[in-house]
Amino acid sequence: MKYKLQNIMKTISIRAIALSLFILLFACKEEGRIDHIDSSAPAPDNVTVLDVTPRPGGSVIKYKLPDDVSNLLGVEVVYTRNGETCRSKASKYSDTLVVEGFGNTDPQEVMLYSVGLNGKLSSGVPRLITPLAPPVQTVQFDIVAGFGGVVTSIEGNTSKADLSLVLLIADTLYTDFYSEIQTFHTKSAAFKFSRRGLEARESNFAMFLRDRWGNRSDTIYRTLTPIEEVELPKTEIVRGNLAGDFYSYAEGNNGYRVELMFDGNKNGTFWASAHTGPIPQVVSFDLGHKVSISRFEKYPRSNYELYSGTAPRVFELWGSIDPGPDKANGDWDDSWQLLGRFEQSKPSGYGEGSNVGTITDEDKDYWYNHTEFELVPTDEAPDPYQTVNWIRLKILSTFSTYGTDTNMSQVIIAELTFWGQLKDDE
């Protein structure tokens, strides 16, 4: 009986395998591709151009689709830019196309085509467009001497075009041969970039703007002498302990003490005040040297709170030469002078009120790698380069308190580095 049952099971298995192979073969049999594209269909009718709106470096073309759209894939415009044939395309669900990238205001002929599902083009509709002046012609830019180098700037980039500032320097004062030394990229409406590490000697500089299509502005030329500057030493900086200063640390942990802003570690240690810290929040330091400060860099806690939270947004730097006979009283006597009021920069710009707005790659790079503050004369700080040996940092708002009535916040800064000139011999 056992023998017969084994034979029955064997027979069933063979039949099951055969049936599976039959189904598999049947399923894999090619039935032919169902193709809904009719290659013999005629080309679609042309679009009707309704309006052309000039824009910087191009135009926006508004059109009406042909009546029969059953065979329509979309619309494309063909034009020549800088000697190359370019195409912009839109689906049949759109009614506008943009042409862009022209480097002047010369009239340009473009051709609009309807595109069929089978790829056939309509006969085409020619149109003459006249672009407005492109950003490389309208954006203002300049170079001025700065501490340790030169400062480049742009303003008036209201369209926030993607621009490059190309900086060059001549080999000598008596040659017309220039070499590129740095290119800055930005979409900001207005911004400044500094090139450091240049000798404090008279030199010829040049600069031009370039957009992403290779269009260029005219070149400007300047003869400038960078101002000598050095990185100011940190080894003798000590906490001021003035009355009114706030030195309570997060969780009462001495590992977050304020002196860590000057330990030379940008990506590890950091100052973190207590969460109950007052706003404004003040700390002071004896620099250990007489100095004239030209600029400083502020480094945030590594990979933490990007344009948010406990990072300072608006703050002031004050300086003094030997503040008062009794430094411990912390009075803001007449020796304390405002050196500058600063706001954390964001290349793409902020939104309204406390709204930070979209954070771009340029913003992120600036936050972690390039946040720098220049001391410049203003009505409130007419003499920012005066000799000082004490400084006070006064945080007026963090990102969590900006635009609110909150008067309490933790503050976190990883590192501060100052540049300028040593004045000990004066």
Each residue's pLDDT tens digit, 14-69: 555 544 544 444 444 444 444 567 778 889 999 999 999 999 999 999 999 999 88
- Domain 48-129 shares a fold with domain 135-224: yes
The burial of 258, by beta-carbon neighbours within 10 Å (0-12 exposed, 13-18 middle, 19 or more buried), is given as buried
Each residue's pLDDT tens digit, 277-336: 999 999 999 999 999 999 999 999 999 999 999 999 999 999 999 876 555 555 677 789
Task: Tell me the CATH number for domain 230-422.
Answer: 2.60.120.260
**φ and ψ of 165, to 5 deg:** -100, 115
Write down the pLDDT at residue 50.
Answer: 96
Task: Tell me the CATH number for domain 48-129.
Answer: 2.60.40.10
pLDDT-derived band of residue 423, with 50, 70 and 90 as boundaries?
Answer: very high
Whole-number mean pLDDT of the chain? 88
Domain ranges of the chain: 48-129, 135-224, 230-422
| CB burial readout 291-313, b (16+ within 10 A) else e | bbbbbbbbbbbeeeeebeebbbb
d(CA 161, CA 189): 8
Task: Tell me the CATH number for domain 135-224.
Answer: 2.60.40.10
Residue 301: which of 412, 166, 143, 162 has the closest Cα? 412
How many Cα atoms are found within 13 Å in the side-chain-facing hemisphere of 121?
11
Q: How many CB atoms are located within 10 Å of the residue 72 CB?
A: 19
Q: Tell whether pTM > 0.75.
A: no
Residue 221: which of 181, 178, 189 has the closest Cα? 178
Each residue's pLDDT tens digit, 89-131: 999 999 999 999 999 999 999 999 999 999 999 999 999 999 9
Q: What is the mean pLDDT of residues 258-284?
A: 94
